[in-house]
Structure 1
Amino acid sequence: MDRAARNELCHLPATELAARIRKLDVSPVEAVDAVLDRMADLDTALHAFCTPVPDQARERARGIAERLARGEDPGPLAGVPLGVKDLITTRGIRTTSGSVAYEHFVPDEDDIVVERVLAAGAVVLGKTNATEFGYSAVGHNPVFPATRNPWNTALTPGGSSAGSAAAVAAGLGPVALGSDGGGSVRVPAAHCGLVGFKAAMGRVPVWPGCRDERYPGVSGWESLEHIGPLTRTVADAALMMSVLAGPDPRDRHSIPCGDVDWTMKQEEGDLSGLRVAYSADLGYLAVDPEVRRVVGEAVAVLEKDLGCRVDAVDPGWDDPAEAFAALIAAETDLTGMRRLVDEHGERMSPHLVAMMQRPWTAEEFTDANMVRKSVVNRTARLMSTYDLLVTPTAAVPPFGIGIQGPERIDGRAVADTAWTGFTFPANLTGQPAVSVPAGWTRDGLPVGLHIVGRHLADDQVLRAAAAFERAAPWAHRRPA
């Protein structure tokens, strides 16, 4: 197989690649070798993978090929190569969480989602780079080189699932696993021209991340964190969800999923008459003019081409960013994290050290819970009238690496995290949400459309995303 054929193999959707492997049209060894060859060519510039495991991946691919030769079906992800975010535990593979405190940590167990993708026949290529403990939405940490955006390597891919997004966008595997406590799947999906899906809270169980009290930093965000897929197509996201979703007794928040059809039969559905609330800025966020333009054009597709009934709305809550930060701190092992800061603080991320050293009060934590309840209640009232809430995913296009965010947006001075303000409300409420490519700026940078559904209406979100994908396709667009 020549280089061009190998590269085309790397860009096949997971749905098609797994089907071809099961039919013996493509060998899982060929598929994995093609991606590993491409990784060798590109990842020295992108730094998507922080701990690749090529030998282990090839050995597993050979094992899947042997099963196929015996007439066995390895599963719905048969031979599909994928990356796993470095915050998600992998037995026998180093998992640093982007922190010097865990620089040499090798877990003795897989996260539930890793167990499930392996049982479904996937091939883990290695760990993908992430910000330290996931506490920011960019792509750099103190341990590894900064991950770069395949659309422009001078820019951030977003984060904290930075490496997972960069890998999929660059053809280093058709899918990857990310985690999302405030937008960390959806933001990098937007910045890299991908689909990033955060299911309703509890659909995808999480263990040991967020739940294992032995690991300060890793054990936080319990009521906010989700794990989800980054993919190039909506069908691939649904395929991944068919593998990932379902309860597990190790996660007390996990819920049944029998009410959701992950097979994407619903993608043939009609969106005519669907009630869509559209907010360009949630009433308080500064938004880059190019993002407004691209997302406005995408919303016009929903209305004019797909028949949705779109109303401009103001959801009616004040900016909950300070409350969100307090909730993160409240769910953090502050005692354990402060111990890590005492030991490693000079090498840790400055914004993380500052957050841990802040003298938080009980009133700040309880006030944050009240703000959360207000957002949940106002959202429930809004969604009693509308089927979907649509916004931009990120307030700005990708920006330069090495910073947390722009200090000014559309002429307004803002906090350096303000650009992520569209995504974390869905973590406060636990609603399903997806980012899909809305289009590209005049400079050729991707912009994300954020689609939020009603409580537990995961299938409605995917159906709307699939319909938009058919009306305004994006998967044929690749970074140069």
Structure 2
Amino acid sequence: MKQNITDLSVLELSNLIKSKSISCTEVTDSFLRHIDDLNPQINAFCDIFHESAVRDAKLADAAIAQGHYSSPLHGIPIGLKDLTPTSGSTTTFGSKLFKTNMPEHDAILVERLRKKGAIIVGKTNTPEFGHKGVTDNLIFGKTRNPWNLTKVAGGSSGGSAAAVAARMVPIAEGSDGAGSIRIPAALCGVVGFKPSFGRIPDVAGPFSSTTPFFHNGPISRNVHDSFIFYRAMAGEDHRDPFSIPTNSSQPTKPLPPLNRLKIAYSRKLDYFQVSADVENCLDATIARLSNLGYQVEEVDLGLGLDVEECFMTLWRFKLSSTYGGLKKNELHLLEPTVQQLISEGNKITPAKYGRAIKVRERVWDIISRLFSNYDFLVCPTTSVPAFDIDKESPRRINGIEINSLIGWFLTYPFNLTGNPAISLPVGFCTSGLPVGMQVIGQRLDDTRLLQFSETIELENQWRS
């Protein structure tokens, strides 16, 4: 082949596999070798399934030889985040507390990916319980950014984003409770898609995944591959009462002509601080879209800092309700920040929780009204490009103090609403690191969001 196997997209690989131009075993071997070469430096994978991946690839080849081709994911190596239960291997959640945890059953999305013929080559690194926007933990250490090994990969799906960016897998699964798919996608220069809440059945327990909304979705090198992966995972399941069908009786409304498509542009979602590096890159992208004929209007949404406090209240409450009953010796196994969040969550009063729900309702109303006038909303994904791996998350941007835990990414408001959102690579900052643009669609308008994102991708010619 003229191209390295590991440089090919899911679509390109699937066409070669389906036509028998290349075997599933050959593809899997190539990616496993690439993982073995690069993972010691990047630390994207915390567990690599050499034996089972090769075995499953041989079974995939045997199925094709018998005329059974499952889907475009048949024989495609994938990574799964270490928050996603996977039978037959440990799922640690990045926590010493679960260092030897061996789930008895696959998550629903894992069941579906296996049935589609995907080859699981390993689990990707995550911070403890996915609690922050960078990827490191007390078991496996830090995941590094493939563009610059001295920089963070983002989080909490940092292992998945780094693995995709470094060509260790063509696609990987991530999860997103505050931006954990979109943040690392932006910092690693890949595509990260958070579908509408309910599109993909929950992995952690449906009633614990609504406050805020917890989503699973794909991280890929292009939008079309994300669509393939999303469709494989999506769909209703009786085990998740909030799951919804992928196919509606109503066909997807087509995108309007380019000159009638209305885009709302928010430079900073009203209250975030955004670095000049990121803002300049986004402005250039928006200018290109305007020059192409898109109707782009800059908007103020009416959001405020109370949205940050609302989210932090719900996030603390979620952690404390799950882990607040741990014994002292168990709590001491957790990272200090997680211990602090649990302690703060234990002190939340019913009145404070109720106020957070009211703010959440206001955010929903604001975003819903926006989509009565616009097709899509765009804004930065993160306020800053990837920062030094040995330093803390930013505490100040533009000289203004921010919440270092969540104040540097513009993603979590859409975990309050459940809207579909995607991060697309749109350029580079002055230091040569990738910058991501977030595109948000109306709830359940996932297909149109992906279609629009693909047009942006083509205009930006990122892959070249």
Shorter chain as denominator, the TM-score bin is over 0.9
Correspondence for 2:230: 241
The CA distance in 2 between the partners of 1:404 and 1:426, in whole Å, is 25
Correspondence for 2:326: 340
Change in Cα spacing, 1:271 to 1:245, as seen in structure 2 (3 Å) is: farther
Correspondence for 1:210: 205
Q: Residue 285 of structure 2: which of 298, 304, 309 is its match?
A: 298
Deviates more, 1:402-411 or 1:99-108: 402-411
The CA distance in 1 between the partners of 2:172 and 2:263, in whole Å, is 29
Structure 1 unaligned spans of 5+: 213-218
Correspondence for 1:216: none
Change in Cα spacing, 1:366 to 1:342, as seen in structure 2 (3 Å) is: same
Please say if residues 210 and 222 of structure 1, whose CA atoms lie closer than 8 Å, have aligned partners that are also in contact.
no
Structure 2 unaligned spans of 5+: none
Instruction: Please tell me whether residue 309 in structure 1 is matched to residue 295 in structure 2.
Output: yes
Task: Give the AA of the match of 2:134.
Answer: V
Correspondence for 2:454: 466
Alignment of 1:246-325 (within 5 A): 246-259=235-248, 270-305=257-292, 307-319=293-305, 320-325=307-312
Q: Residue 185 of structure 1: which of 181, 184, 190 is its match?
A: 181
- Displacement, 1:402? 4.7
Deviates more, 1:134-143 or 1:166-175: 134-143
Number of aligned pairs?
461
Q: Residue 445 of structure 1: which of 412, 433, 438 is its match?
A: 433
Alignment of 1:325-404 (within 5 A): 325-332=312-319, 334=321, 336-340=322-326, 342-358=328-344, 359-402=347-390
The CA distance in 2 between the partners of 1:436 and 1:341, in whole Å, is 43
The CA distance in 2 between the partners of 1:404 and 1:250, in whole Å, is 40
TM-score when scaled to structure 1?
Answer: 0.92
The CA distance in 2 between the partners of 1:284 and 1:222, in whole Å, is 22
Q: Percent identity?
A: 37
Instruction: Please tell me whether residue 102 in structure 1 is matched to residue 89 in structure 2.
Output: no
SS at match of 2:150: coil
Change in Cα spacing, 1:194 to 1:227, as seen in structure 2 (3 Å) is: same
Please say if residues 134 and 160 of structure 1, whose CA atoms lie closer than 8 Å, have aligned partners that are also in contact.
yes
- Displacement, 1:162? 0.8
The CA distance in 1 between the partners of 2:326 and 2:125, in whole Å, is 21
Instruction: Please tell me whether residue 408 in structure 1 is matched to residue 404 in structure 2.
Output: no
The CA distance in 1 between the partners of 2:364 and 2:327, in whole Å, is 33
Please say if residues 221 and 332 of structure 1, whose CA atoms lie closer than 8 Å, have aligned partners that are also in contact.
no
The CA distance in 2 between the partners of 1:87 and 1:109, in whole Å, is 14
Correspondence for 2:163: 167
Task: Give the AA of the match of 1:126.
Answer: G
- Displacement, 1:76? 2.2
- Displacement, 1:418? 4.2
TM-score when scaled to structure 2?
Answer: 0.95
The CA distance in 2 between the partners of 1:277 and 1:380, in whole Å, is 13
The CA distance in 1 between the partners of 2:408 and 2:221, in whole Å, is 22
Task: Give the AA of the match of 1:434.
Answer: I
The CA distance in 2 between the partners of 1:222 and 1:74, in whole Å, is 36
Q: Deviations over 1:113-133 (max 9, x none)?
A: 111111111000110000110
Correspondence for 1:74: 70
Instruction: Please tell me whether residue 226 in structure 1 is matched to residue 215 in structure 2.
Output: yes
Instruction: Please tell me whether residue 454 in structure 1 is matched to residue 449 in structure 2.
Output: no
Task: Give the AA of the match of 1:465.
Answer: S
- Displacement, 1:75? 2.1
The CA distance in 1 between the partners of 2:170 and 2:217, in whole Å, is 14
The CA distance in 1 between the partners of 2:267 and 2:253, in whole Å, is 31
Task: Give the AA of the match of 2:312.
Answer: A
The CA distance in 1 between the partners of 2:35 and 2:443, in whole Å, is 39
Q: Deviations over 1:179-211 (max 9, x none)?
A: 01111001111001111011111111113x134
Correspondence for 2:148: 152
The CA distance in 1 between the partners of 2:235 and 2:400, in whole Å, is 44
- Displacement, 1:279? 0.7
Task: Give the AA of the match of 1:289.
Answer: A
The CA distance in 2 between the partners of 1:239 and 1:266, in whole Å, is 19
- Displacement, 1:341? 6.2
The CA distance in 1 between the partners of 2:210 and 2:145, in whole Å, is 26
- Displacement, 1:94? 0.6
Task: Give the AA of the match of 1:210.
Answer: G
The CA distance in 2 between the partners of 1:148 and 1:397, in whole Å, is 14
Please say if residues 392 and 450 of structure 1, whose CA atoms lie closer than 8 Å, have aligned partners that are also in contact.
yes
Q: Deviations over 1:31-65 (max 9, x none)?
A: 11101111111000111000111111000001101
SS at match of 1:176: strand
SS at match of 2:260: coil
SS at match of 1:297: helix
- Displacement, 1:411? 1.9
The CA distance in 2 between the partners of 1:49 and 1:93, in whole Å, is 13
Task: Give the AA of the match of 2:326.
Answer: L
Please say if residues 193 and 446 of structure 1, whose CA atoms lie closer than 8 Å, have aligned partners that are also in contact.
yes
SS at match of 1:339: coil
Query: What root-mean-square deviation, in Å, do the aligned CA atoms of Structure 1 and Structure 2 show?
Result: 2.1
- Displacement, 1:227? 0.2
Correspondence for 1:433: 421
- Displacement, 1:241? 1.4
- Displacement, 1:333? 5.2
